[in-house]
Amino acid sequence: MKINTIQCKTLLTKSRLPEADYCINPYVGCLHGCIYCYARFMKRFTAHDEPWGHFVDVKINASEVLAKELARKPKKGITLLGSVTDAYQPIEQKYRITRAILEILLQYNFPVSVLTKSNLVIRDLDLFKQLSQCEVGLTLTTTAQEIARNFEPYSSTPQQRIKALDTFHRSGITTYAFIGPILPGLTNLETIFTAIVGKVDFVMAESINLKCGNWENVQDLLKSKYPHLLSLYQSRFTQTYWGQVEKELRTLSEKFKIPLKGFYQH
């Protein structure tokens, strides 16, 4: 594992995602090491020789840069913490970059959205409680510990993530489960809905994207742990397949009375 500290020149970037106006990435790289990680294209913007998932650059001056950017009074908008990294990956415990960023966003009363796979987010509950507009999302691809350990080896367990959702929801903060990527043959949607009912305000979902340089890693994992699913994944799934998944999501959303805010397909 290679961990560097770097000085960033800018931090707040305009978002191309429909649910956010701005993005902030406190780190370059992510040590959660998800096998399917969609953000590995970021490696080309670094000088690292290590494979994706084996390095992180810590933007050590992030909060000072953000304070200067917000002092210029940009138009307020929803700011997503972590679009190509996880803002609460394990090294955040030591560096506290995300916490320092949150303090600045709070100072300028910026709306905040965070999506993470880590229950470390609970550490900052005190700050989230003070924000006038915020939402906290936890990713769930499965409730089965073994599947999560295989695909997302260094993230919090699904049970820890569900507990984090419960903690925020009980504190009156808007919460959501991001069910994605949906892993065909492994993600059990009904089990996830059952586990999160009463703990979230809405769900979002996403199909797996196998066109972002992750296929080799996914294929290796399938060969070693789930060989019976290899041919299914090799078929790369049809639109009809994802249409059926969407139907199931909508049925469960109605059954459990949890609104489905979006289903992104690749």
Tokens of residue 241, six digits: 């397949």
Closest CA to 122 of 111, 114, 133: 114
Identify the residue among 86, 92, 124, 135 touching ligand SF4 (CB under 6 A): 86
- Least distance from ligand SF4 to the Cβ atom of residue 142, Å: 14
Instruction: Look at residue 263 and give its three-state secondary structure.
Output: strand
Give the number of other CB atoms < 10 A from CB of residue 154: 16
> Of 117 and 169, which CB lies nearer to ligand SF4 in the complex structure?
117
Binding mask 56-85 for ligand SF4 (x = CB under 6 A): -----------------------------x
82 φ/ψ sector (left φ>0, alpha ψ -120 to 50, else beta): left
**Euclidean distance between CA atoms 86 and 122, whole angstroms:** 14
Applying CB under 6 A, the site for ligand SF4 has a residue count of 9
Burial (0-12, 13-18, 19+ Cβ within 10 Å), 12: buried
Give the binding range for ligand SF4 (CB under 6 A) out of 29-37, 59-67, 169-177, 220-228: 29-37
- Least distance from ligand SF4 to the Cβ atom of residue 114, Å: 12
Identify the residue among 12, 25, 27, 32 touching ligand SF4 (CB under 6 A): 32
- Does residue 117 touch ligand SF4 according to CB under 6 A? yes
Tokens of residue 121, six digits: 């987010």
Do residues 161 and 117 make contact, with C-beta atoms less than 8 angstroms apart? yes
- Least distance from ligand SF4 to the Cβ atom of residue 116, Å: 7
Phi, psi torsion values for 110, nearest 5 degrees: -85, 140
- Least distance from ligand SF4 to the Cβ atom of residue 155, Å: 6
- Least distance from ligand SF4 to the Cβ atom of residue 86, Å: 4
Q: Which residues here bind ligand SF4, judged by CB under 6 A?
A: 30, 32-34, 37, 39, 85-86, 117
